[in-house]
Amino acid sequence: MTDNSSNAPTAMERFIQGILPENPTYRQLLGLCPTLAVTNGLKAALTMAAATGFVLLCANVMTSLIRGLLKPHLRIVVFTLTIATFVTIADRFLAAYLYDMSKTLGPYIPLIIVNCIIICRCEVCASKQSVWVSASDAVGQSLGFALGLSSIAIVREILGTGMIFQFRILPVQWPDWVIMVLPPGAFFTFGLLLAVVNRLTEPGKK
């Protein structure tokens, strides 16, 4: 087992790393498909982040529980099966209790199966470290993902409709920048915010 080595990150470190320094959206550039697709409203973005977080947590815990028990190519099979099962459960849950959100998010919930965040975290962390560390890694990464999604969603929704969650933020005279809630707006917002984050996290100089 490799989780007893002294330089493996601890649970707390994993948790903190996931939120900003190793943010899945802005630093690792993982899970870009939902980032662009569901961020035209804050409610949809948060629901997606919650669903991804649920699947990531369960998948991480499951993978960590059976780490070292399976040969490599069987590991991939079980791993895929795990993610697909939990995504199915999350999808059914949403369809039963949050039917409107389920219809808005549509095919993007099952696309969590191929969300690179989950696959990457399971490979990097869960298959090597204990259940507790993997769980906190999952929670940290999910929070980071939620942060990334909501930052884009807030910009798009305010500029595009002037409202958040039915609360009017900008005055009624604001001409809604409809392009913000359309596909091009997703690309522009994310690109500009990414440039801002790159600029802010530049090491010192300039």
Partner 1 sequence: MNYIIDITLIALSAAIINNFVFYYFVGICPFIGVSRKVDLAFGMGCAVTFVICIAAFISWTFTAYILMPGAPLSSWIAGFFTSPEQAAGIDLSILSYIVYIFAIASSVQFVEMYLRKAFPMLYKSFGVFLPLITTNCAILFACLTIMSKVAGAENPAEAWDLGRALTLAFFGGVGFTISIVIMSGIREELELCDVPKPFRGAAITLIIGGIMAMAFTGFTGVDAGLKKAMTQEKPVVQAVMKEKSMEKGSAL
Partner 2 sequence: MDWIRENKIMQAWLVLTIALFFGAMLAGVQIKLGPTIEKNRRNETLEKVPALVLGKEGADKMAAENRPPLITPSTITVDKIGRKVYYNVYAVRDKGELKGYGIKTNGQGYADRIELLFGLNPTLDKITGLFILEQKETPGLGNKIVTDEWRSQFVDIPSFPALKVIKGKASTSGEIEAITGATISSRAVTDIINSAVSDLHQPLMNAKDN
Contacting residues toward partner 2, per CB under 8 A: 40, 66, 68-71, 74, 77-78, 81-82, 85, 88-89, 92-93, 95-97, 99, 103, 160-161, 176, 178, 181-182
Of the residues 72, 171, 175, 184, which one makes contact with partner 1 according to CB under 8 A = 184
Distance (Å, rounded) from C-alpha 154 to C-alpha 146? 12
Half-sphere CA count of 19, side-chain side, radius 13 A: 8
**Does residue 117 bind partner 1 (CB under 8 A)?**
no
Cα–Cα distances in angstroms (integers) from residue 137 to residues 18, 20, 155, 203, in the given order: 7, 12, 28, 25
Q: Which two tokens stand for residue 76?
A: 């991939």
Cβ neighbours of residue 99 closer than 8 Å, sequence gap 6 or more: none
**Does residue 139 bind partner 1 (CB under 8 A)?**
no
The conformation of residue 203, written as its DSSP 8-state character, comes to: -
- 36 vs 154, beta carbon nearer partner 1: 36
Q: Which stretch binds partner 1 (CB under 8 A): 52-60, 81-89, 137-145, 154-162?
A: 81-89
CA dihedral 117, 121, 127, 133 (to 10 degrees): -140
- Residue 66, contacted partner among partner 1, partner 2, none, CB below 5-8 A by kind: partner 2
CB of residue 66 to partner 2, shortest distance in Å: 7
The conformation of residue 22, written as its DSSP 8-state character, comes to: T
Give contact residues for partner 1 (rule: CB under 8 A). Answer: 29-30, 32-33, 36-37, 80-81, 83-85, 87-88, 91-92, 107, 110-111, 113-114, 116, 119, 179, 182-188, 190-192, 194-196, 198-199, 202, 206
